[in-house]
Amino acid sequence: MFKKQTLAKSLQIAFSATTICCAATPYALAQSTPPQIIERIEITGSRIRQIDKETSQPIVKMTQADIQKSGLVTVGDLINSMTAAGSPDFSKGSVLTSDREQGGQYANLRNLGSERVLVLVNSRRWTQTVGGYTDMSTIPSSMVDRIEILKDGASAIYGSDAIAGVLNIILKKNMDGGFASTYIGQNQKGDNRTQDFNFSYGGGSEKASIMFAFSYNKTEPVWSKDRNITSTTFGPDHVGDGFGTGPWGRIRPVNSSGAADTKGFNYVLNHTGGAWGDGTGVDARNPANYHTYAGAAEDKFNSTSQMMFQSGTELKSIFTKGTLELTPTLHFSSTAMFADRSSARQIAGYPLNSGSQPDYKVYIDKDSYFNPYGNGVAGAGNGQDLFFYRRTIEVPRVSNNNNKTTHFDAGLEGDLSIAGKPWTWNAGLNYSV
């Protein structure tokens, strides 16, 4: 799947060809062979155009044929399938995080950090977040001609953001006609349903070309509760371990320092159901409706039952690329992209207590109607404030993330001769937001 270019291999082929040539008959040597035209192209890891086989940097190349054979649908999936790819910085399973990068796809070569990998598109820097991360899911795989991966650091050429390596995604130069692909799949349990639709079309002439692509990808979440192995914090062999504050309401007296009085009572409301929050509490104003809290599993809550195991994402993007030959030695090219990505993560409701905000503690006031030991129940002047514990399972914590990315670049490139030597120059504008 990966093709590695080495100078040694090319030299070996050259020497073998020379040997065969020398062993030929004089008549064969006298034959004229048309000279082979070798085009010098731009190589990832060098600013000097050179013959493809001359590169001294260890470059791994993935072609469009390799991409189609892999069965993977996004550029990010392709890169992360490499042996050199480390653990993703923002995994779909990291539902406890709420970074703005969550939901995107990033390359983490050798676990050095995705912000230390430089991503280029046609040798130009691609859009990055404020933290320096490049979301590769914004690049449609249907328009990719090949991907060149420079696994060694290239900070001397590209800067400090290329310490871990460089990914250069080379787009197709032109396209005559259209291409469409559809991918629909799901897990055996029926969740994590994935839909991916890609459409690209292009056309042009010898001097001009234009291409555009539209892609839509949606991945639904996986819930921890739907599998026995993930339905509790420490697995099926330790079901009760990791259960936390329950939703039934636990009360204690308040000591002189404002904390829970550990020498006083420790009651939890009577209820039906258990650690999955599937029951109903009784009248909370009646002191007789409480029992001593001893840490029983049915008085706690399995927070995993409200958590996603993997978050879902939705991505819509449109991409266009155009080229124009102004003169035989002057070319204009431009690329534009807009992407709208949204993702959501959910974990269990917050385990509130009177000390959740240490500087602004909140108690069940002795004059509260709901205080079972307040003035309304115990009689005027006999009430006391209560320190409470309760998980708000009615309101799970949900983080919604929406990123809209716009990229535009345009450039001129030309050739000229100075003192009989060929020179190549280019100038461009790169805008991302």
pLDDT greater than 80 at residue 30? no
CA distance 85 to 407: 26
What is the pLDDT at residue 103?
Answer: 83
Radius of gyration of the chain (CA): 32
pLDDT greater than 80 at residue 109? yes
What is the pLDDT at residue 381?
Answer: 85
Span 335-350, pLDDT tens digits: 999 999 999 999 999 9
Q: Which is more confidently placed, 34 or 265?
A: 265
Strand order in the sheet with 208-219: 177-185, 194-204, 208-219, 312-327, 330-347, 397-418, 421-432
DSSP sequence for 136-198: GGGS-GGGEEEEEEE-S--HHHH-GGGSSEEEEEEEPS--SEEEEEEEEE--TTS-S-EEEEE
pLDDT greater than 80 at residue 46? no
What is the pLDDT at residue 89?
Answer: 84
pTM: 0.76
What is the pLDDT at residue 34?
Answer: 55
Q: Which is more confidently placed, 230 or 26?
A: 230
What is the pLDDT at residue 56?
Answer: 53
Q: Residue 398 to residues 120, 159, 208, 313, 391: CA-CA distances in angstroms?
A: 34, 38, 49, 14, 15
Q: SS3 for 214?
A: strand
Span 189-225, pLDDT tens digits: 889 999 999 999 999 998 999 999 999 999 999 999 9
Span 112-147, pLDDT tens digits: 888 889 999 988 889 888 888 899 888 988 889 999
Span 396-425, pLDDT tens digits: 999 998 999 999 999 999 999 998 899 999
pLDDT greater than 90 at residue 13? no
**Contact partners, residue 292, CB within 8 Å, separation at least 6:** 265, 266, 267, 268
CA distance 127 to 243: 43
| Nearest Cα to Cα of residue 136 among 154, 116, 118, 151 | 118
CA distance 59 to 5: 6
What average pLDDT does this structure show over 244-249?
A: 95
Span 51-100, pLDDT tens digits: 444 455 678 888 888 888 887 778 888 888 888 888 888 888 888 877 77
Q: In the CATH scheme, what is the homologous superfamily, with its name and number, of domain 3-224+310-346+400-432?
A: TonB-dependent receptor, plug domain (2.170.130.10)
What is the pLDDT at residue 349?
Answer: 96
With cut-offs at 50, 70 and 90, classify the pLDDT of residue 45: very low
